[in-house]
Structure 1
Amino acid sequence: MSFLSEPRISGLTPGSPEFFRVQNELIAARPALHYCYDLWYRTLLDDPAVTGAPPDARFLELGSGGSGLKRYDPRVITSDVSPGASDLVVDARALPFPDASLHALFLTHVFHHIPDVGLFLREAERVLVPGGLLAMIEVAATPFARFFFSRFHPEPFLPELGWTFSQSDSMMDSNQALSWIVFERDLERFRREHPGLALEEKRLLPWLPYLLSGGVTRRNILPGPVVPAIIAADRGLSSLYPFFSLHWFLRVRKSAA
């Protein structure tokens, strides 16, 4: 369905500073999409590890790209595998930070791009302070999410695979089912291999505003004046989130011991 593709990003190199700049502009210009990102960022930061952190606390966002999280909390250190887009160039599998030096790690649509999440989770446990937070917004695996992401998204959704995959393009080589694989299908393996980390929460998130906004890759079909009604309708249909939600929030905690 190329006619639905967002023309402003066609021809841009995924992962380039210009690509991320245009994505930021799309998020700001689309009220429904801005609502989603605002909700996601506030959800990531709503945790005692952040709100109760000391003044010298350090928070790291991975895969920042065009993220606006730092505007919500200037203590956030942004990072990406692509140079020129963030404060630091960082590979999630080898975090350049001392042991127990970060109070929180934030990822928005990034976990499923990490080609070896076992390595990342070990690194997360190493660099987080006791009681530190690993917070993620990720692709959900509801029936509609499975249908949508496997058919109408350029990245693959492969729930039958394991925790690793080969990668030559950090933007496109991914597995959007990865958070479901690790934190639902293989939850016992996660607990066994990473006993210092605990999954505290899985929360399905609003889906209708995001779907109609076009995200950052497709055209927006939602006129601004109807956005409040769409948000209200989504809230009224929250009982259907287990069937339709496209994203979920994951809260993982490092043991305080």
Structure 2
Amino acid sequence: MGVDDPRTTLLRRRLLQSKPFLRCLYLEWYSLLAARIQGLDPVLELGSGGGFLSEFRAGVIQSDLIRVPGLSLSADACRLPFKEGRLGAIVMTNVLHHIPDVAQFIAEAVRCLRPGGHVVMVEPWNTVWSQQIYRHLHNEPFDPGATWKFPFTGPLSSANNALPWILFRRDRARFEETFPKMSIDTIQPMMPFAYLLSGGVSRPIGAPGWSYRSCRTLERRLALERLGLFALIDLKRRS
């Protein structure tokens, strides 16, 4: 099955539930997201198809471009079906780097969020360590020299793992000038090894669940600015 096949998303949903180490990792990601959006409603999740955030945070509007059972709606991040100022927060996990016109998405987020709302995400990040992983051990493109746009080939096959770093670190000044109503509140690199040990959603096996806590204890002692494979990113809608 291709990555854009809805059956692939359903398979990934099952893997997230059946692999204890990977489930622990996603529970930590969801905990980080939930902590950033306390008291903000309604909350829209983009790319919900393979995940289980709704089990962790009640009332989330689940959406995905890929049509799979159990979602609230099918939605394109660049054309959100909400009125101006309707949302309290937008959250996503490994979604932004698949959006082919990220400037259009940010413009939509500004339109749909009320002042004080947040866009919170966990995304791939560009560090000395992650460059080696994304260039040599990952199937998705990784191009730190790219622009903000790339061709659309499909909801998941379209990608640039370097896009979050491009947008919020390399081109931060341009981002702030282009979107004065959106501030970059937090960029927190993290997890240089945990996702690799989990086997991710493309491999049926991974490290045992009991080893997750030890792995994370070790990771927190490392220089994550240089080694983080992912980052927690929090954007805030200004008044």
Please indicate the TM-score interval, normalised by the length of the shorter structure: over 0.9
- TM-score norm. by structure 2 comes to 0.94
Range with bigger deviation, 24-33 or 71-80: 24-33
* Structure 2 residue matching 1:46: 3-state secondary structure: helix
2:12 pairs with 1:14: no
Query: Among residues 226, 231, 236, which one is paired with 1:248 in the alignment?
Result: 231
CA RMSD of aligned residues (A): 1.6
- When residues 224 and 130 of structure 1 are mapped into structure 2, their CA distance, relative to the original with a 3 A threshold, is closer
Residue 157 (structure 1) aligns with? 142
Q: Structure 2: how far apart are the matches of 1:178 and 1:202?
A: 14
2:82 pairs with 1:97: yes
Q: Structure 2: how far apart are the matches of 1:188 and 1:165?
A: 21
Range with bigger deviation, 192-201 or 74-83: 74-83
Q: Structure 1: how far apart are the matches of 2:45 and 2:156?
A: 16
1:215-251: CA deviation from partner (whole Å, max 9, x where unpaired): 111353423443343333323xx33322322100000
Q: Is the 8 A contact 1:80 1:91 kept in 2?
A: yes
Range with bigger deviation, 210-219 or 136-145: 210-219
- Mapping 1:83-122, distance limit 5 Å: 83-85=67-69, 86-122=71-107
- When residues 221 and 97 of structure 1 are mapped into structure 2, their CA distance, relative to the original with a 3 A threshold, is closer
Q: Structure 1: how far apart are the matches of 2:212 and 2:34?
A: 24
Residue 50 (structure 2) aligns with? 66
* Structure 2 residue matching 1:51: 3-state secondary structure: coil
Q: Is the 8 A contact 1:212 1:220 kept in 2?
A: no
Q: Structure 1: how far apart are the matches of 2:234 and 2:206?
A: 32
Residue 64 (structure 2) aligns with? 80
Q: Structure 1: how far apart are the matches of 2:28 and 2:212?
A: 15
- TM-score norm. by structure 1 comes to 0.87
* Structure 2 residue matching 1:201: 3-state secondary structure: strand
Q: Is the 8 A contact 1:64 1:79 kept in 2?
A: yes
1:68-120: CA deviation from partner (whole Å, max 9, x where unpaired): 11111221101111113422111111111000000000111010111111111
Q: Is the 8 A contact 2:25 2:194 kept in 1?
A: yes
- What's the CA shift for 1:19? 2.0
* Structure 1 residue matching 2:223: 3-state secondary structure: helix
- Mapping 1:1-257, distance limit 5 Å: 12-47=1-36, 50-53=37-40, 57-85=41-69, 86-235=71-220, 238-255=221-238, 257=239
The residue identity in structure 2 corresponding to 1:233 is: L
**Alignment: residue pair count:** 238
Which of these two proteins has the greater Rg computed from alpha carbons?
1
Q: Structure 2: how far apart are the matches of 1:80 and 1:179?
A: 19
The residue identity in structure 2 corresponding to 1:99 is: E
Q: Is the 8 A contact 1:154 1:172 kept in 2?
A: no
Q: Structure 2: how far apart are the matches of 1:196 and 1:140?
A: 24
Q: Is the 8 A contact 2:125 2:231 kept in 1?
A: yes
Q: Is the 8 A contact 2:84 2:111 kept in 1?
A: yes
* Structure 2 residue matching 1:129: 3-state secondary structure: strand
* Structure 1 residue matching 2:222: 3-state secondary structure: helix
The residue identity in structure 1 corresponding to 2:235 is: V
The residue identity in structure 1 corresponding to 2:35 is: D
Q: Structure 1: how far apart are the matches of 2:186 and 2:121?
A: 11
- What's the CA shift for 1:195? 0.1
Residue 7 (structure 1) aligns with? none
Structure 1 unpaired stretches of 5+? 1-11
